[in-house]
Homo-oligomer: A and B are copies of this chain.
Amino acid sequence: MAIQQNEPSPRIPLSRERVLRAAVALADERGIDELSMRKLGQQLGVEAMSLYNHVANKEDVLDGMVDFVVGEIDPPPTGTDWKTAVRERALSARRALLRHPWTSRVLESRTTPTPMVLEYFDSMIGLFRAGGFSIDLTHHAMHAMGSRLFGFTQELFDDSNNDLDPEAEALMLQTMATHYPYLGEMALAISHDENSVVGQGCDDQFEFEFALDLLLDGLERLRDRARISQ
């Protein structure tokens, strides 16, 4: 005979999973600015301090929330050409972000990408590579996909807050290559000089102009086509 209670999910024990789910739900309903550890605890019928048994701190919660959304992105379709595969993936990502509109702002505040985010990028790189793109062009393509052309290029790997020594750096690159083969391949190709670090060797100015010119050229072509057909 189960005892009925009005409390939200009363008997289910707290867990990281449950905390993150509640955080996503709260942000979806009330906005990310309304998310606080205290309100999150309240939502789970628990004091805020209890959350720290399942989660390191609020930053950890935010990381977990991003992972939750990234986890909702469909895996790349199989048996199609690279273009529809990349296309479907980007559209699926867009749908996930539309379901959780706070994600882009939270993403912008993250300093280091989580494994899930890296996995998403890695598989996206894999699609380009499988489509016959050179490492170099794939690299530019990835930057172009993420850039905002009103003045801002999203840096995938911000190397400015990097306090690792070269050996640790090389080791990290090594282990990364085993988990994210395409990311590793690209990182290696980009930084094959002495002081090589992941993301260094990215000429962000070049990448910005690459995406910008790709768009401008495409737009010009469309304009001229419209003129001719008139």
Contact = CB atoms under 8 A, between A and B. Distances in A.
A58 to B, nearest CB: 12
A144 interface: yes
A30 interface: no
Interface string A133-159: 110010001001111111111100000
Best-buried of A90, A91, A97 by chain B (most CB within 10 Å): A90
A108 interface: yes
> What is the predominant secondary structure among interface residues of chain A facing chain B?
helix
Given A97-B152, A227-B132, A215 B144 contact: yes
Counting every copy of the chain, the complex holds: 2
Contacts of A108: 104-105, 108
B150 A145 contact: yes
A125 interface: no
Interface in A137-184: 137, 141, 144-154
Given A91-B209, A105-B109, A109-B105, A218 B214 contact: yes
A105 B152 CA distance: 11
A87 interface: yes
Interface of A: 73, 83, 86-87, 90-97, 103-105, 108-109, 131-134, 137, 141, 144-154, 208-209, 211-220, 222-223, 226-227
A91 B219 CA distance: 18
A90 B145 contact: no
Contacts of A211: 215
A87 B212 contact: yes
Contact of A219 (B212, B213, B214): B214
A150 B90 contact: yes
Contact of A149 (B104, B105, B146, B217): B146
A152 B104 contact: yes
A217 B218 contact: yes
Contact of A215 (B94, B103, B215): B215
